[in-house]
Structure formats: structure tokens, C-alpha cells
């Protein structure tokens, strides 16, 4: 069995490891016009990672996704406090309900989660972040969260051999296609998957400009444009 990365529209992803662990990142399901599945189909994940508390990332489905299961919620302390207020049990939040913060790494059942900075804003709790997820077989997946480009991305590329980078390209609220393409040059992933586009009229409506810019800035990076609900294989090369 291989690792799979499935795009659920906008910035929402489901990662299924070769060992069968399921990780949801920014699971905005209810209200997401691009999401092809229902909350019930995603219930019972092993991990849920939240990059920040804007409604299109934090969503409203956390208690339903985690309820009755043994999944662990990962995010900043302030965002985790909000999740507790919304009905997520303390026992299902990383570090006994405290959360984690930028620069830290936690390991849950063989999966390592490192929280990175992101340049963006938040609604009311914490600050934006991204995640570097290292699966059991060593495959590294970087979810940038909502962010503009920043030079420390080059350090991520040096510290981690990134196999798949999930990058926002939509402009207006996040990196535009040119910045996202230059980010690829800094990160040097094997594969790039664009996200945070098409969802709203204000955003880029296709990945075409990103693909063209990536061919200039990072021609060695393979760009995979997924349709909502589609998956790609992610393996350590």
C-alpha cells in the first residue's frame, strides 16, 4: 500500500499513509463549495491538523469528525482552546489539551508533525502556521497553510527532503502564482500540488499561471493539479 494525498477542495486535504493512518488538514467540509464528500465519510481520522482559525480552514466540523473516535487534534494553544469551547474533548488535543507551537515537533504513532510559521492573519485565536508531516516511511509532506512567500522556506528545503508541497496559489489572500512558483525554488520539493484557488471568484480560477511560472522558476519540480476528490501517490524517492 502507498501513501495517498487527496485534495478535498480549497486547503483541505486527507493524507492516508501506507500504514493506514488518516490525517486531515484544514478540514473545511460543510460550506466548502468544492468539497466532494460529506463529513460522515471523513469521520474517525487519526490526526487533524489546523493551520489557523479562519472559517475556511478551521471549519465547523471538528466535533463531528473527532467525536467518538481516538483521533488527535493538532494546532496552536489558542486555537485548541477555541476547539475545546466548540466541543472537542481535552483528551483528543495534542499534549493533553495544550496544543503545540511554531518550531515544535510532535510524534504520534510513528507520524511526526512539525509546525512552521506562515505569513497571514487569524480570526481571533493564535497565529497562522503550516505543517511538515513526516509519515512512517519517511515521506515528507509540507502544507504551507495560508501564507505569502518568505525566505525561511529555503531553510525548510535544506532541513527536510520534501516529497510533496501543498501550496496556496490563489492570490488576494495568499501567494499569487509567481510567488508560489518562486517558493518552489526555495523548498525544492519533488512534487507540488496547488491549493487555495478556484473556491471564490476573487481567487485565481485555474492553476495555469502557476504552472507557467513554475516552469520558469523551478523546472525540476513536478506540478500535479488535482481536481477535488482526486489523489496522488506520495512516496519517498
Q: Cβ distance 60 to 53 under 8 Å?
A: no
Residue 69 in this model has a pLDDT that exceeds 80? no
- Is the residue at 181 inside a domain? no
Strand ranges across the sheet with 105-108: 105-108, 111-117, 129-134, 140-143, 164-168, 191-195, 222-223
- Is the residue at 151 inside a domain? no
Nine cell digits for residue 208: 495555469
Q: In this structure, what CATH number is given to the domain that contains residue 30? A: 3.60.15.10
Number of structural domains, the chain? Answer: 1
Q: What is the pLDDT of residue 4?
A: 95
- What is the mean pLDDT of the segment spanning 190-202? 94
Residue 44 in this model has a pLDDT that exceeds 80? yes
- Is the residue at 149 inside a domain? no
Q: Cβ distance 128 to 148 under 8 Å?
A: no
Nine cell digits for residue 166: 501543498
* All residues at 6 or more sequence positions from 174 whose CB lies less than 8 Å from its CB, including other chains: 120, 146, 147, 148, 168, 196
- Is the residue at 112 inside a domain? no
- What is the mean pLDDT of the segment spanning 79-85? 91
- Is the residue at 233 inside a domain? no
- Is the residue at 140 inside a domain? no
| pTM for the predicted model, two decimal places | 0.96
Q: What is the pLDDT of residue 46?
A: 95
d(CA 164, CA 83): 28
- Is the residue at 190 inside a domain? no
**Residue 60 belongs to domain spanning:** 1-100+124-133
Query: pLDDT tens digits for 94-129?
Result: 988 889 999 999 999 999 999 999 998 877 877 899
Q: 4-13, 95-104, 127-136 — which is least confidently predicted?
A: 95-104
- Is the residue at 18 inside a domain? yes
Amino acid at each position: 500500500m502507498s501513501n495517498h494525498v487527496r485534495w478535498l477542495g480549497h486547503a483541505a486535504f486527507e493524507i492516508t499513509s501506507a500504514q493506514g493512518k488518516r490525517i486531515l488538514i484544514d478540514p473545511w467540509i460543510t460550506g466548502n463549495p468544492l468539497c466532494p464528500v460529506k463529513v460522515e465519510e471523513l469521520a474517525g481520522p487519526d490526526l487533524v491538523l489546523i493551520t489557523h482559525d479562519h472559517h475556511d480552514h478551521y471549519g465547523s466540523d471538528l466535533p463531528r469528525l473527532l467525536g467518538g473516535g481516538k483521533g488527535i487534534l493538532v494546532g496552536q494553544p489558542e486555537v485548541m482552546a477555541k476547539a475545546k469551547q466548540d466541543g472537542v474533548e481535552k483528551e483528543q488535543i495534542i499534549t493533553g489539551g495544550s496544543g503545540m507551537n511554531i518550531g515544535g515537533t510532535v510524534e504520534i504513532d510513528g507520524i511526526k508533525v512539525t509546525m512552521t510559521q506562515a505569513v497571514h492573519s487569524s480570526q481571533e485565536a493564535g497565529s497562522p502556521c503550516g505543517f511538515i508531516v513526516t509519515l512512517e516511511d519517511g515521506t515528507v509532506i509540507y502544507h504551507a497553510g495560508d501564507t505569502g512567500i518568505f525566505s525561511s522556506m529555503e531553510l525548510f528545503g535544506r532541513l527536510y527532503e520534501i516529497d510533496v508541497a501543498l501550496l496556496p496559489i490563489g492570490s488576494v489572500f495568499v501567494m499569487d502564482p509567481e510567488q508560489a512558483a518562486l517558493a518552489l525554488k526555495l523548498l525544492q520539493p519533488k512534487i507540488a500540488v496547488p491549493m487555495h484557488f478556484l473556491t471564490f471568484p476573487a481567487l485565481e480560477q485555474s492553476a495555469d499561471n502557476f504552472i507557467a511560472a513554475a516552469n520558469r522558476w523551478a523546472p525540476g519540480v513536478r506540478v500535479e493539479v488535482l481536481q477535488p476528490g482526486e489523489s496522488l501517490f506520495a512516496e519517498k524517492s
